[in-house]
Amino acid sequence: MSPLPVAIESPLPRIVGALCLRVIRPGDALPLQRLLAANRSWLGPWEATHPSGRGAEPGSVPLRPMIRQMRRQQRAGQSLAFVMVYGDEVVGQLTVSDISGGALRSASIGYWISEHAAGRGITPVAVALAIDICFEELQLHRIEICIRPENAPSLRVVEKLGMRFEGRRARYICIAGEWCDHDTFAVTREDVPAGMLARLTEAGIGVR
């Protein structure tokens, strides 16, 4: 796998109702840190951890250095990080990572949302917008999302998106010191010729 051969230009914000998906910026560091700290019980069971047990608890350290690293990876053609803004409030984060160019043209998407904003259709619409950016602006061909089989809220997201189940990856990611299975879901450009957001809209799924 190799990253895109050029820097990724920041796409314009995409807005659906009260939701705005835009590229992450340094000013998002503090609100994201506060959300991560306040949502430990909600997010903790699904977050990747270092197998050694080292690493700071999310929300316990400033995020500006991490955001700077995300922007460097964007310039290197490797990843693209967004925030989900609902109304005027940052409520979650989404990252397009493992971007590959060449003959593969693929990427993975990961996301999290604050518990207080969950259940309003924000996450499936944000993921749909990100997928459309990947297909339309980055000219990628395949997007995948890997989810723990116990993570019912995230499984509902890919169900609403109509993404294809492609199998289980055994002991795929370390979480809280344990190697956990993840189910893989994918979509290709041929699956959504009119775009992923259009598929959601046709299914009557939107932001509430």
pLDDT of residue 122: 98
Q: Check: CB of residue 74 under 8 Å from CB of residue 6.
A: no
Please report whether residue 190 resides in a domain. yes
Task: Say which CATH number the domain at 168 has.
Answer: 3.40.630.30
Q: Does a structural domain hold residue 1?
A: no
CA dist., res. 198 & res. 205, Å (int): 10
- The secondary structure of residue 6, as a DSSP letter, is S
Is residue 82 in some structural domain? Answer: yes
Question: Could you give the number of structural domains in the chain?
Answer: 1
pLDDT above 70 for 1: no
Q: Which pLDDT band, with edges at 50, 70 and 90, does 184 fall under?
A: very high
- Asked if residue 150 is part of any domain, the answer here is yes
Q: What are the pLDDT digits (tens) for 110-119?
A: 999 999 999 9
Whole-prediction pTM: 0.96
* Predicted confidence (pLDDT) per residue in 64-88, tens digit: 999 999 999 999 999 999 999 999 9
- Give the tokens for residue 118: 């969950």
- Averaged confidence pLDDT in the chain: 95
Looking at the predicted structure, is the pLDDT value of residue 56 above 90?
Answer: no
Mean pLDDT of 120-149: 98
